[in-house]
Amino acid sequence: MRDHYQLIIIGAGPAGLAAAVTATNHGISCALLDEQASPGGQIYRAIESAPATRAQVLGSEYQQGKTLAEEFRACSVEYFPECKVWSLNSEREVGVLYKDQSKIISADQVLVASGAIERPVPFPGWTLPGVMQAGAGQILFKSAGVIPSDGVVLAGSGPLLLLLAWQYMQVGVEIKAMLDVTPHSNFLSALTKFPRALLAHHYLTKGLIYQRDLKRAGIVSKMAVSNLKAEGNGELQSISYRHLGREHSIETGLLMTHFGVIPDIWLTQAAGCQHRRDSSQQCWRPQHNEWGNTSIDGILIAGDGAGINGVRSAEYAGRLAVLQALFSLGVISQAERNQQSINPRKQMRKERHIRPFLEAYFAIPQNMLATTDKSTIICRCEEITAGEIRAAVDNAHGDSNQVKYLSRCGMGPCQGRQCANAVAHIVADAGGEAISDSSLFRGRPPVAPLTLAQLASLSAENAS
């Protein structure tokens, strides 16, 4: 690993891989840092090693990643897998941990392709063993061929839930029920977005086929479910929910939930990039322009880390951001940048036609984002409940960060990744304030836990 590169790319998902290929085609020195052992990110996880039968069940969209991974392996990027990035600052200095050695490296341009995380939505019992995110179920399947053995209940909202149900059905997993929390009112708000979504009708068709197949297989599916609860002593034993005004319960040892995905912004926050609340996507994301420039010179963002637009869009965004980086480096002219951007930009626009419809249709109900159930744990690490957070709001003058200092929520090892959004919503709700750009916890380096020994290895590195 060198001390300096012209371009550092963080993340080996679709945006990062496409960016690395484009960058090295132009002959610049480029490093790609990624926490996983192999390229692909979460969406193309284990793309190089998944057996053919498994890849087939995962579908054509997954298999598209194979070509990208091959192009990536053939390019001249310096690839550092199993590399933890724990810091990024406005001087484009990147703190990394690689082979148990800390190092600060720098670049003229940094492209953050951090991707997305699942939106954590707290509900009673969500910390019990046996409750997992749907993405976790998919990762187990993609990377290890591990699937539920005694059935599973799927609950929540969004395309991934449907996709996972369909994939599980293909490999014979018993789906005890599909519980969709999408309220009927979303249908109306999504209606106006429908004409544009028709421009991306292949996504709609795929969704309808999945739904049809699940129905034909006789899988129980309930719409507009509320009051989801996971119950059990020390582990999940049953779940309960409300449907059409009545309470129901299902015995199950496994519940997988999904409430959409949100950008992973811990690194751009730590760098001091400006972030905005995106009300349509119900998340915070780094402010950026059409080339992926953030508010900090030389720091670019591409892919779902910039705002959720899906896997194909991420790839094009990665290419566009690199064209901008190449222009800033003086490798290509403005005219060349503009010329080469025409096709990826056109493709990217096409991919995004579906998004406003999906965002409106799968919007998470406000009462789930800001739970009023006082006993629900919000901060999984420090075990702080919604009641404790609400009680702290007055003394904290309605500021999330003050709530954090008073209650310790967000101060555990996950550094608020699981509670920041819920705390922002609960604090706004309790204080009667509107959610805003600054409702989220501030993010600071190190963005990943390091041992003191690992941090101290920096001085040995600098002395050598």
Considering only 118, 180, 315, 359, the residue that binds other proteins (CB under 8 A) is 118
Residue type, 203: Y
Shortest distance in whole angstroms from residue 37 CB to other proteins:
6
Considering only 343, 449, 459, 460, the residue that binds other proteins (CB under 8 A) is 449
| Binders of other proteins in range 152-181 (CB under 8 A) | 171
Q: Write the interaction track for other proteins spanning residues 71-90; mark x where CB under 8 A is met and - where it is not.
A: --------------------
Residue closer to other proteins, measured from CB, 32 or 190? 32
Q: Which residues pair with 242 in a beta bridge?
A: 226, 247
Contact between 437 and other proteins (CB under 8 A)? no
| Binders of other proteins in range 196-255 (CB under 8 A) | 234-235, 253-254
Which segment (1-9, 23-31, 33-41, 391-399) binds other proteins by CB under 8 A? 33-41
Shortest distance in whole angstroms from residue 200 CB to other proteins:
27
Residue closer to other proteins, measured from CB, 21 or 116? 116
Rounded Cα distance between 456 and 464, Å, is 13
Are the C-beta atoms of residues 232 and 125 closer than 8 Å to each other? yes
Which residues lie closer than 8 Å to 456 by C-beta, 6 or more apart? none
Which segment (9-17, 65-73, 122-130, 183-191) binds other proteins by CB under 8 A? 122-130
Contact between 95 and other proteins (CB under 8 A)? no
Rounded Cα distance between 430 and 173, Å, is 42
Contact between 383 and other proteins (CB under 8 A)? yes
Which segment (154-162, 182-190, 426-434, 445-453) binds other proteins by CB under 8 A? 445-453
Rounded Cα distance between 304 and 268, Å, is 13
Are the C-beta atoms of residues 162 and 224 closer than 8 Å to each other? no
Q: Where are the beta strands (DSSP E) in 12-128?
A: 30-33, 78-80, 83-88, 93-98, 101-112, 116-118
Count the site residues for other proteins by CB under 8 A.
49
Shortest distance in whole angstroms from residue 169 CB to other proteins:
13
Considering only 10, 39, 54, 270, the residue that binds other proteins (CB under 8 A) is 54
Which residues lie closer than 8 Å to 362 by C-beta, 6 or more apart? 157, 158, 159, 182, 186, 260
Rounded Cα distance between 299 and 301, Å, is 7
Which segment (116-124, 175-183, 336-344, 429-437) binds other proteins by CB under 8 A? 116-124
Residue closer to other proteins, measured from CB, 80 or 361? 80
Backbone angles phi, psi at 405, to 5 degrees: -65, -35
Which residues lie closer than 8 Å to 279 by C-beta, 6 or more apart? 435
Considering only 10, 12, 117, 200, the residue that binds other proteins (CB under 8 A) is 117
Helix (H, G, I), strand (E, B) or coil at 272: coil
Contact between 460 and other proteins (CB under 8 A)? no
Backbone angles phi, psi at 98, to 5 degrees: -135, 125
Q: Which two tokens stand for residue 376?
A: 């629900």
Roughly how many angstroms between the first and final C-alpha of the chain, as a whole number?
Answer: 14
Q: Where are the beta strands (DSSP E) in 14-100?
A: 30-33, 78-80, 83-88, 93-98
For β-strands 221-222 and 246-251, DSSP reports them as: unpaired
Contact between 135 and other proteins (CB under 8 A)? yes
Contact between 37 and other proteins (CB under 8 A)? yes
Contact between 420 and other proteins (CB under 8 A)? no
Shortest distance in whole angstroms from residue 144 CB to other proteins:
4
| Binders of other proteins in range 137-156 (CB under 8 A) | 139-141, 143-150
Which residue, among 71, 68, 82, has the nearest Cα to 33 in the 3D structure? 82
Shortest distance in whole angstroms from residue 130 CB to other proteins:
7
Contact between 16 and other proteins (CB under 8 A)? no
Contact between 359 and other proteins (CB under 8 A)? no
Interface residues with other proteins (CB under 8 A) are 35-37, 42, 46, 49, 51, 53-54, 117-118, 120, 127, 129-133, 135-136, 139-141, 143-150, 171, 234-235, 253-254, 264, 380-383, 412-414, 417-418, 449, 451, 453
